[in-house]
């Protein structure tokens, strides 16, 4: 690992930490508190793909 690689990895960590605390941790805590709201991964992918298709149509 050279100096630039090291700096880039430090920058990524600096950016990731607030994101993990602000978004990921609360989402995890909410899931643990009420896992009945979870949906199967297959359904989540279908919803994601449908949303991406919608965005593509809006951009066209």
pLDDT (tens, 9 = 90+) of the chain, 60 residues, equals 677 776 777 777 888 899 999 999 999 999 999 999 899 999 999 999 999 999 999 988
Contact 30, 23 (CB under 8 A): no
pTM: 0.51
pLDDT score, position 54 = 96
pLDDT of residue 6: 64
What is the pLDDT, as a whole number, of residue 53?
96
Give residue 27's domain range: 3-59
Looking at the structure of the chain, the number of domains it has is 1
Closest CA to 30 of 19, 38, 20: 38
End-to-end CA distance of the chain: 43
């Amino acid at each position: 690992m050279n100096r630039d690689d090291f700096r880039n990895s430090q920058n990524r960590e600096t950016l990731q930490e607030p994101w993990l605390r602000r978004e990921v941790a609360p989402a995890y805590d909410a899931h643990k508190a009420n896992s009945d709201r979870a949906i199967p991964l297959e359904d989540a992918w279908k919803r994601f793909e449908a949303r991406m298709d919608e965005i593509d149509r809006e951009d066209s």
